[in-house]
Structures are given as structure tokens and as C-alpha cells.
Amino acid sequence: MNQSDFLKVVLPFKDKVFRLAKRLLVSTEEAEDATQELFFKLWKSKDKIADYNNVEAFAMTMTKNYCFDRLKSKQASNLTLVHSNYEAKETSLDKKLEYEDSVNQVYKLIEQLPDQQKIIIQLRDIEQYDLEEIGKMVDMKPTAVRVALSRARKTIREELIKKHNYGIS
């Protein structure tokens, strides 16, 4: 496999790999390093890529495993998460702040989820993978993925309701 063939295969999912790495590692710099390391590993084994049924799923699994290894290592450093991809048109400043605060709360709540739920919600709700693909990536049955996703969403929803009601039931 030459370089242009390799790029045609791996470039379509480069951003997804980065977003998953950023979700797990929090730091943009760490996520960039993880993405670069993943593509370096894929390049080293470029002759074996054709053997995989779904290169994207394989790359996402490699990313997940690499990020977990980084988090387990003593070199891992967590920086604050900065949300920057929300844009609203022609809304008042107070509404913008309210929306931004809600989005930041959701990100914080996602970060507090157990690792498995965090990965599943990232892959399903942000990366838009279907349940079977996620199941292959995290080595779970699709029904177990659906249950974990439901629990993660329920946890986030309940915590957001508590925050918006100021703790009043």
C-alpha cells in the first residue's frame, strides 16, 4: 500500500479519532499526540490494513486502548476541557451564556461517567456510530451497549434537571 492509498483509507475518520482521544484524554495536546501515534502505528502496519473488515472500527479501538494506556501511565496530565464548537445565531448574550453553561455542564457530567459509559456516549451521540459498531469497538453485545448508553443518558438528564431546578425536587 502506497502513501496515497493509505491516506484515502485513514483520512476520512481522522477527526473521529481525534474527538474520541480528546474525550478520553481531555487535553487537546494529548489528543493530538494520541492521534499522531495511532496513525504512525497504522502506517507501520499498512500492509495488514487490507485484512481488516472495518479499518475505522479497528482504529477507534486502537485509539481507545492507547488513551486508556496513557491515562494509566504516570505521564498523563489532565487539563481543563474547553468547549468551542457551539454557535448560536442572533441570540441574546444572557441566552448565549446560559446555553454555553448548559453545554459545559453536559461535558462535565460526561467526564464524571464511568469510562465505559463515557466511551459509549462519545461514540454514539457525538461520533454517530451504530450500536453494533460500538459493540465491536468496546467488545460488548449491542444490547449491553444500548443499556449502558441509556444509563449514561439517564444519569446526565437527572443531573441536569437537578442543576436547572437548583436542587429543588
Rounded to an integer, the average pLDDT of 44-64 is: 86
Q: What is the 3-state secondary structure (H, E, C) of 81-115?
A: CCCCCCCCCCCCHHHHHHHHHHHHHHHHHHHHCCH
Looking at the fold, whether 118 and 63 belong to one and the same domain comes out as: no
Q: How many CB atoms lie within 10 A of CB 7?
A: 13
Q: What is the CATH number of the domain that holds 157?
A: 1.10.10.10
Apex CA 162: angle with CA 125 and CA 88, to 5°? 50
If asked whether residues 60 and 99 sit together in one domain, one would say: no
Residues 15 and 45 in one domain: yes
Q: Quick check: 85 and 28 in contact, CB under 8 A?
A: no
Q: pLDDT at residue 125 above 70?
A: yes
Report pLDDT for 73. 74
Residue 1 confidence (pLDDT) = 73
- Measured CA to CA, the distance from residue 169 to residue 162 in angstroms comes to 8
Report the predicted TM-score, pTM, of the whole model to 2 decimal places: 0.55
Report DSSP state, residue 123: I
Please answer whether residues 25 and 42 qualify as being in contact, where contact means their C-beta atoms are separated by less than 8 angstroms: no
Residue at 68 is within a domain: yes
On the 0-12 / 13-18 / 19+ scale of CB atoms within 10 A, 85 is exposed
Examine residue 84 and state whether it is found in any structural domain, yes or no. no
Does residue 169 sit within a domain?
Answer: no
Of the three residues 43, 72, 101, the one that is the final residue of a domain is 72
Per-residue model confidence (pLDDT) at position 80: 38
Question: DSSP H helical segments within 3-141, as ranges?
Answer: 3-10, 14-25, 28-44, 55-72, 93-112, 115-121, 131-138
* pLDDT value of residue 87: 54
Tell me the mean pLDDT in the region 155-160. 89
Report d(CA 67, CA 22) in Å as an integer.
9
Supply the range of the domain harboring residue 131: 93-164
CATH number at residue 26: 1.10.1740.10
Give per-residue pLDDT as tens, 67-121. Answer: 888 887 755 444 333 445 545 456 677 777 877 888 888 888 999 999 999 999 9
Q: Please tell me the total count of domains within the chain.
A: 2
pLDDT in tens, 23-33: 888 888 888 99
What is the per-residue pLDDT for 95? Answer: 75
Does some domain include residue 54? yes
- Asked whether residue 83 is assigned to any structural domain, the reply reads no
Q: Are residues 23 and 52 in the same domain?
A: yes
Q: 68 and 15, same structural domain?
A: yes
pLDDT the model gives residue 52: 83
Residue 146 pLDDT level (bands cut at 50, 70, 90):
very high
Quick one: 36 and 98 in the same domain?
Answer: no
Q: What's the distance, Cα to Cα, between the start and end of the chain in Å?
A: 60
Domain membership of residue 14 (yes or no) is yes
Structural domain contains residue 124: yes
